[in-house]
Amino acid sequence: MYKKFVITTLSAFFIQLLFILIIFNYFGDVTAIFHSGYMQKIASEIIKGNNLYGIENIEDRELNRIIIDTMQDVPDIIVIGSSRSMMIRNYMVSDNNKTRFFNHGLSSATLQDYIAILGIYMKNKRRLPPNIIIGVDPFIFNKEFFHPTFHTLYDYSDYYYWLMYYKIHYNIVLPKSDSTLFKYLRYLKKLLSISYAKLNILSFKDLFKQRFQIIKDLNTETNLPTDKYIKLSDGSISYPHKVIFNDHVKLEQEAANINKQSLPDCFDHMANKDVFERLIDYLISENVNVVLFLPPYHPSSYHSFFTNKPACNNCKVIDEVEVYLNNLAKKRNIKLVGSYNPNKYNLLGLDFIDYRHGQQSSLNKIFLNNPYIIHTKD
């Protein structure tokens, strides 16, 4: 009798915990998985030309899909790439400040992400932007690296299928479109996720208030927030002060002692070259002006990639990728700016916020050496 009572009590307790977890994750929903209306509101504000503060936890792949859907016109220039390309802005690349520009940089973006973004444009807008800057990280040629978030976006895989099968015609294994049942099972998994609950707890203080703040003009605003990222109206980002003014002595030590064995940028051999080249060829066939951008590494990290303390033979692929991309750019007669090697642009440790992300100063130095890589008409 007592044993049955204990089992019943514990079962009821765990059911209540699960119920609380589900409710908390659903209403907390810091990445707006279950509240697409909130994501639409963010996209609408960006399209209106407003800069937003306080949305760094938003699922950026889904946000970019909604932004493209919401756009009235196709931009003249877009950027696709990882977070290392997120700080590229119109003034760096264009001779016309009236150019319609948008940065579609995504966290840990893969080659599949690049294709998906372009697929959304082709499917929803029926044409591509005439100028596309592609930020190329070495890890897009790592066959083991595939961002898990890509699998979670139901429509994303559809766009990927569409572009690959009907435009690039390349026979590779693609993620299958999710069934409705699988889609809802995925949602249930997120509702029961302890890690998602932890993320919601960290943002709990913002749960009952406006989660983002509109900043109309960065140049005239006197009380700019300093603790969080700002998403600019052109899709690029502005780092918070705590990131810009970091401890450079500590950063130098961390950059020099980076664990090279676990980096996705260091792998045994290049893969996906055929897919990448077919993508470039397809863009050229559509009369797109393609520019490749190679984001540099922190000088101490780049140096450590090629030292024997400890040995990292796989890091040599970083130079291999750069040689390959330079040769490809020459063969296809397309522009290439930047380099994984920071010494080529005299970049210092002060020009970085970590081992692989540059400050605004690093991008300025790179693009000032390649002024107006894109010329557009008024």
| Structural domain includes residue 196 | no
For residue 47, is it within any domain? yes
User: Residue 118 domain-assigned?
Assistant: yes
Q: Reduce the DSSP state of residue 374 to 3 states and report it.
A: strand
Neighbours of 192 (CB within 10 A): 13
Q: For position 131, what pLDDT does the model report?
A: 94
For the chain, the 3-state helix, strand and coil shares in percent, each to the nearest 5, are 50, 10, 40
Q: What is the pLDDT of residue 371?
A: 65
Residue 341 counted as domain residue: yes
For 263, the token pair is: 């980096």
The answer to whether position 48 is within a domain reads: yes
Q: 217 lies in a domain? A: yes
Number of domains in the chain: 1
Would you say residue 279 lies in a domain? yes
Contact of 316 with 264, CB cutoff 8 Å: no
Q: What's the CATH code of the domain at 314?
A: 3.40.50
Per-residue pLDDT of the chain (378 residues; tens, 9 = 90+): 667 766 777 777 777 777 777 776 676 666 666 666 777 888 888 998 888 887 766 778 888 888 998 898 899 999 999 999 999 988 888 777 778 999 999 988 888 888 888 888 887 788 899 999 999 999 999 887 755 444 444 455 555 555 555 555 444 444 444 445 555 666 777 777 776 677 666 655 555 455 677 777 666 555 566 667 888 889 998 887 777 777 778 888 887 777 766 678 888 888 888 889 988 998 998 899 999 999 999 998 888 887 766 556 678 889 999 999 999 999 999 999 999 999 999 998 889 988 888 888 899 899 877 666 666 655
Residue 201 lies in a domain: no
Residue 87 CA to residue 364 CA, distance in Å, equals 10
Residue-number span of the structural domain to which 285 is assigned: 41-148+156-171+211-368
Contacts of 251 (CB under 8 A, 6+ apart): 298, 349, 352, 353, 354
Order the strands of the 230-231 sheet from edge to edge: 213-215, 51-53, 230-231, 237-238
